[in-house]
Every structure is written in C-alpha cells, then in structure tokens.
Amino acid sequence: MVNSVSKVRREGEKRQQQRFTVPKGTFVIISPGTDKEWKAQVIDISHGGLAFIYQGSKEDPDLSGALKILTRNADLENVNFETVSDKPAPGSTDTSLPYRRRGVKFTWMGVMGKQDLSDFVNSISMSGLML
C-alpha cells in the first residue's frame, strides 16, 4: 500500500504560486447543486488557487467542486477546485453562522481552461501587490 503524503508548507518555505490581492468587488459563487448559492468575498488569488471568506458551516460549500469568479469587468465560470484549508476567519465570533476563511487550489481544467485562468488572474491581480 502506498502512503500518500501531501506537501506541508513549513514556516519559511515559499508558496508554489505568488498570491496577489484582488480589487474590491471580487467574489466567488459556489453552486452546490441545490437551490442555494454561496457568494463569498475573495481575499487573494494566484495561478494555483484562491482564498475567500464566507459565512456558514464548513460543510456547506463542500457540496460543489466548481466555482465562478466574478469581478466588475470579467468573470470566469466552471473553475474546478479542491479545498486545502478551512478555518474560522480572524476576528470571527462564535455565532450560529460564523465567518470562515477557505483556501482552495484549482484542479485540472484542460489546456484552454488553464490559459483562460492564467489570463484572468493576470488581468485582475493588482499590479505589484503580492502577499
């Protein structure tokens, strides 16, 4: 049996992809296949994934494997993702619907989808504002 070990970023190690801040009004829409959609504020983005803040339980957005990224001037649909982290947002209080911070990585999209994503990230990432 092969033991699967995921990469763990250790303190001081660099990320695989540079993260960029995004303009105000950048959101993700997650449709879990029910009549409910989740709209969440994007915090940052890279060519490998993004982070967003949402309100609810961490199981709610898990029902979907694709999201839509919206900005004022552009959008990108059917972006496949996999959750890599989900924790209470800094400063969030313990209420019935706490705010959470979720980090996702983009998964395989094919050559054209990957190029569309790259073009999209390049167009919305705020120049020089790397995290």
Residue 85 included in any domain? yes
CA 88, 86, 66, 43 dihedral sign is positive
Report the predicted TM-score, pTM, of the whole model to 2 decimal places. Answer: 0.75
Residue 4 included in any domain? no
Q: Which domain holds residue 43?
A: 20-124
Residue 27 included in any domain? yes
What's residue 50's pLDDT? 93
What's residue 34's pLDDT? 64
Q: What is the CATH number of the domain that holds 113?
A: 2.40.10.220
Number of domains in the chain: 1
What's residue 56's pLDDT? 79
What's residue 128's pLDDT? 44
Residue 8 included in any domain? no
Query: Mean pLDDT in each 10-residue stretch from start to end of the chain (131 residues)?
Result: 38 64 90 75 92 83 77 84 88 73 86 81 66 45
Residue 9 included in any domain? no
What's residue 95's pLDDT? 61
What's residue 126's pLDDT? 61
State how beta strands 20-21 and 75-88 pair. Answer: unpaired
C-alpha pair distances (Å), 27 with each of 5, 18, 52, 102, 110: 32, 19, 8, 13, 23
